[in-house]
Structure 1
Amino acid sequence: MSNRKSTYRFILSGGGTGGHIYPAIAIANELKERHPDAEFLFVGAKDRMEMEKVPLAGYKIEGLWISGLQRKLTLKNLMFPFKLMSSLFKSRKIINRFQPDVAIGTGGFASGPLLQVANSKGIPTLIQEQNSYPGITNKLLSKKANSICVAYDGLEKFFPKEKLKLTGNPIRKDLLDIEGKSTASKVEFGLNYDKKTLLILGGSLGARRINSFIESRLDFFKANDIQLIWQCGKLYFEQYKKHSDLENVQVHAFLNEMDTAYAAADIIISRAGASSVSELCVVGKPVIFIPSPNVAEDHQTKNAKAIADKNAAILIKESTLETDFDKAFEQLLQSEDIQESLGKNIKELALANATTTIADEVEKLLNRR
């Protein structure tokens, strides 16, 4: 190891959604533990959530004027070339000033210009792809990246095989031991020990279709003697909070203590964003995935299918909820064998040491400098 160990500089970029931001923060935290005197700088898109979340995690961030291409002709698309040129120019200024030893990208608009500039200046780059179907930014960056950390098998279809490292996605450390928290979590949520608990997750902002469907099935859950922990998202809380007045229904805008919520659950309904899928693999509970159809390349459906194809989860598309959900849920509820099998199979797909393994890959790049 070089004697510059205490003065390493890491530049990280990932944003747009929590699925890109939190892995970047997890990687930074791991590197900070290893190199307490290192300097860190994040680069994000000016008007996206990373500009709020990254400082809350204790890191500096600079914003680029960048956004993605829309699927139809819009003013934003006409502005894209100007935003790209502006972002490349600013990325060059940031990198010239900060002089990073390694550049790390976890996806999202801003990581494109930043890592493009890093590549052009000979700075070692690592990209981390969370999904089973990569986004366009990482596909373009992969040609010059030194290392590509992925969470699914089979991505040599999209990336140079010799650069691939199967690491999994970084997850919160408090999820690694939820089995011992089950009793305390039920007390914390005030749950009935004799009833099955269904945890419903639609993401931090919420999922309109999942929320409206759950509302339509409250009598169905009551008839099946189910108690609900329902995270409806902050966008929809005012609309659905009234249902907390019902017996055995709790409606939450957001769940801060996810380890407690996972520990309390017997069955989980979730979207299939990459971070959620990775967490649910570690949690090891029976899951019904209802992927969002409104994301680029329909990657949530592909993420969920990769798990369901291994008999490790149930996949129900939004378009077939009305016809498929009740039967699938009752079959799962009535069979302890199916519940146990799904929980066991999804747990076997977990890559719990992802953050450590990715940091190890970064260390290898440091030694190239």
Structure 2
Amino acid sequence: MSERRYMISGGGTGGHIYPAIAIAEELKGRHPEAEFLFVGAKDKMEMTKVPEAGFEIEGLWISGIQRKLSLSNLMFPFKLMSSMLKARTLLKRFKPNVVVGTGGYASGPLLKMASILKIPTLIQEQNAYAGITNKWLAEEAQSICVAYEGMEQFFPKEKVVFTGNPIRKDLLEVRSKREAGLKHFQLDSNKKTVLIVGGSLGSQRINELIAGQLSWFEAENLQVLWQCGKLYYDRYAALETESVKVLKFISNMDLAYAVADVIISRAGAGAVSELSLVGKPVLFIPSPNVAEDHQTKNAKSIEDKEAAVMLREKDLDDKFEPVFKNLIQDIELQKKLSKNILTLAKPLATKAIADEVERLENAVR
């Protein structure tokens, strides 16, 4: 068994999974002999995405509490107890030096049990508004890496480390990949490209918007690269044409960002961090259906710095066409947004978080 062993938990959406994988890859690059074990929620997307990245994962029987009364809510105490017990078994067996949580259902029981067993824990909070799970874990965590200033309102000040959000290495330089991206997605180099990203699972409201605007995009001589999500693919696949590419999921996000002239996106923390690094003009449409409305807070913090444009879902019917037309036609606005959003990027975030993991590890050696 290697001297260096790390357990990492993050899941439910790409916004929790990819930061977890990025941290693991940074640590593995530093310590090729290190061992890693991911812990996720059974039946969630981490159970496939983590093995695809080359890491082992175990699943817990855990889910979130629904907003309305349901059988799932009645089962929650049993799921939590089951997950705590399995987490204890995994921790005892694997004996990690440090346990890292990037959010998602499984990180709660794993990090709570790690704290009970006196194993150092690190929380990575991606949003401008802290989630319930991370607030629950904060008192016992040794370190809390954050992406926004002012997070002391949620966490003990002495534990907060301002790092930014972890980013996949393939996104660190996308501008040189435009030609490769055009070829990969079979796009026309003479047309402007609108990239639509409704989150890793897709967005019903954004998909409805785009479906209704395709003829307008065509009239404006725009081509569309549209990640609609696997839940919606069957509904929208038939809308694909030479200038409209409809995809369940985009694995090569570096190439997608490289070909984009303007991006329409949700405002999850992972998306915001990636788009800051990419530096393209962005229209954020935050989801209103998330805890504490944190996507609106994320997008507003970027809009306030004149680094992106934001439209709330309730305003889409009236405002989308004039707002987007102004964005796609105003070259000076595009330049300003690109320049300003790049200043918010934290390209060394993954390195800073790995440094913090090593600091915790060395403290107990």
Q: Deviation at 1:360?
A: 0.3
1:177 deviates by 1.1
- Structure 1 counterpart SS, 2:103: coil
**For 2:205 and 2:228, how far apart are their aligned partners in 1?**
10
- Distance in structure 2 (CA, Å) of the matches to 1:108 and 1:204: 14
Q: 2: distance between equivalents of 1:253 and 1:107?
A: 24
Secondary structure at 2:139's aligned position in 1?
coil
Distance in 1, Cα, partners of 2:251 & 2:162: 29
2:328 aligned partner: 333
Separation in 2 of the partners of 1:250 and 1:81?
Answer: 44
Q: Does 1:315 align with 2:290?
A: no
- 1:323–1:350: structure 2 CA closer, same or farther, 3 Å change rule? same
The percent of aligned pairs where both chains have the same amino acid is 62
For 2:6 and 2:180, the matched residues in 1 are separated by 39
Aligned to 1:222: 218
Q: Indicate if the aligned counterparts of 2:13 and 2:201 stay in contact, CA closer than 8 A.
A: no
Which residue matches 2:342? Answer: 347
Q: Name 1:179's counterpart in structure 2.
A: 175
Match of residue 356, structure 1, among 340, 351, 357: 351
Match of 1:55 among 51, 66, 77: 51
Alignment of 1:192 onto 2:193: no
Q: What's the offset of the Cα at 1:367?
A: 1.0
Distance 1:219 1:53 in 2: 35
Question: For 1:30 and 1:273, how far apart are their aligned partners in 2?
Answer: 22
Instruction: After superposing the two structures, state which structure 1 stretch, 46-55 or 117-126, moved more.
Output: 46-55
Contact 2:202–2:230 at 8 Å: present in 1 too? yes
Matched, 1:263 2:258: yes
Equivalent position amino acid for 2:145 in 1: C
Residue of structure 1 in register with 2:145 after alignment: 149
Give CA deviations for 1:173-207 in whole Å, capped at 9, x if unaligned. Answer: 11111112223433443433333211111123321
* Farther off after superposition, 287-296 or 44-53: 44-53
Separation in 1 of the partners of 2:189 and 2:251?
Answer: 22
Residue 277 (structure 2) pairs with residue 282 (structure 1):
yes
Asked if 1 retains the 8 angstrom alpha-carbon contact of 2:22 and 2:169, the reply is no
Alignment of 1:1-369 (within 5 A): 7-245=3-241, 248-369=243-364
Matched letter for residue 333 of structure 1: I
SS in 2 for 1:62: strand
Instruction: Indicate how the Cα distance of structure 1 residues 85 and 189 shifts in structure 2: closer, same or farther if over 3 A, else same.
Output: closer
Task: Please give the alpha-carbon distance, in whole angstroms, between the structure 2 residues aligned to 1:147 and 1:316.
Answer: 35
Deviations 1:144-187 (A, max 9, x none): 11110111112111111111111111111111111122234334
2:11 and 2:45 in contact (8 A); partners too: yes
CA distance in 1, matches of 2:212, 2:337: 26
Gaps of 5+ in 2: none
